[in-house]
Amino acid sequence: MKKPRVKKGPDVRIGFHTSIAGGVSKALERADELGCRTMQIFTHSPRQWARTAISEEEIKRFRDLRSELDITPVFSHTSYLINLASRSDDLLSRSIDFLSYEMDNAEKLGIEYVVLHTGSASGDDEKKARKRAARAISKALGKRKYRARLLLENTAGQKGDITSSVAALAEIAEQCTSDGIGGICIDTCHAFAAGYDLRKKGGVEQLLEEVNAHFGDEGLRLVHLNDCKRPYGSGVDRHEHIGKGTIGSRGFRNLLSDQRIRKVPLVMETPKATDEDDRMNLKKVKGILASIR
C-alpha cells in the first residue's frame, strides 16, 4: 500500500542531501517521503574516480518524477576527490576532466545547479591557488553552454582552504573566463567555523552584506543548513543536528528570520543514522520558521 504523500507546504523550499542508492530517481522518492520541496544528490559515488553511466531509462524516470513531485530546484554536489587548486599536474588534469563529467551528468538529468568545493592550496600561496582554480574551472566548462550552473561553496577554514570567505569565492569567480558560474552556496557550519558568528544578528548581517557586495542580490542560490560540532572560528568542518551544535537554536532563528535566507532553497546535510534523524531536523527547522512568522 502506497504511503500518503507528506504535505509540503507553500513557503520555504527545504530539503536534504538524499541517497541515490538504487538509482538517482530513488533519491526523489526519498525526498518526497520526507516532504522535501528541494534536494541535493551526488550523481555517482563521491569518493571514487570511476564513472558509471546513467541509463537513458533512469534519466527519463528522474526527469518525469521530479516534475510530478514538484521538487525544484535540484542540486548535485561534486566529488570530494576534485581539487582544482592542486599543484599536481596529474590531479589537476583529472579534476578538470571530472568536473566536466559532473556538469554533463547534471545536464542529462535536468539538474539546475552543481555545487563545487574548489579544492585545497596544498601548501601553496592562497592567491596563486585561487587563480589556478579559476583557470581550471574555465577549462572544465570550456565553451559549452551548460544549462546547469556552477555554484561555488564556502569552506570551513581548515589548513589549505582557499574559499573560507565570501571575498575568496568572489576572487575565483571574477577570474573565471567562463560564464558558467551561477552564484554561490553558503554552508552555515562552514561559515561559523570560518569566523562568521551566526549566533548574532550582526554576524548574519555581515555574511549577507558580503554576499551582496561581491555577488549581488541574486548571487546566493543555496544555503546548506547545518549546525556545527566545533567551536566558533575553529576552522574545522563537522556538521551537527540543527540546534544541537555550537550555532544553536538561537543562531538558526537569526538566520531564518532574514528574508534573504528564506527566499533561497535550504538543504540540510545533517548527520544521519536513520531516516528519523532527517525528520527530526526538518521538524526543528519548520518549528523555527513557524515561530518567526
Of 37, 66, 117, 214, which one is the catalytic site residue?
117
Mark whether 269 is an active-site residue. Answer: yes
**Residue appearing with cell numbers 563521491:** 46
- CA 262 to centroid of chain Cα atoms: 16
- The predicted-structure confidence for 84-102, as pLDDT tens digits, reads as follows 999 999 999 999 999 999 9
Largest CA distance in the chain: 59
Active site includes 77? yes
Instruction: Just give the CATH number of 17-291.
Output: 3.20.20.150
User: Residue 234: what pLDDT?
Assistant: 98
User: Mapping DSSP to helix (H, G, I), strand (E, B) and coil, where does residue 222 land?
Assistant: strand
Q: What distance lies between CA 268 and its chain's CA centroid?
A: 9
User: Cell 538529468 belongs to which residue?
Assistant: 109
Residue in 11, 29, 80, 125 annotated catalytic: 80
Q: What is the mean pLDDT of the chain?
A: 94
3-state secondary structure of 185: strand
Q: Of these residues, 112, 161, 237, 278, which one is catalytic?
A: 237
In this model, does residue 195 exceed pLDDT 50?
yes
CA 185 to chain centre: 5
**Does pLDDT of 4 surpass 60?**
no
**Is 124 part of the annotated catalytic residue set?**
no
pLDDT tens digits along 21-78: 999 999 999 999 999 999 999 999 998 999 989 999 999 999 999 999 999 999 999 9
Which entry of 113, 239, 240, 278 is annotated as an active-site residue?
A: 239
224 is catalytic: yes
30, 66, 149, 190: the catalytic one is 190
Q: Cis (ω within 30 of 0) for the bond into 73?
A: yes
pLDDT band at 2 (very low <50, low <70, confident <90, very high): very low
Question: Known catalytic residue: 190?
Answer: yes
187 part of the active site: yes
State the Cα–Cα distance between residues 51 and 45, nearest whole angstrom. 8
CA distance 103 to 204: 31
Length of the chain: 293
pLDDT at 3: 42
pTM: 0.95
Catalytic residue (one of 130, 149, 214, 224): 224
pLDDT digit string, tens, across residues 113-151 = 999 999 999 788 999 999 999 999 999 999 788 999 999
Catalytic residue among 58, 269, 277, 279: 269
Q: Is 44 tagged catalytic? A: no
Annotated catalytic residue within 77, 132, 221, 262 = 77
State how far the Cα of 139 lies from the Cα of 150, in Å rounded to an integer: 13
The pLDDT score that the predictor gives to residue 47 is 87
Written as one letter, the residue type at 163 is T
**Active-site residue identified among 102, 187, 197, 278:** 187
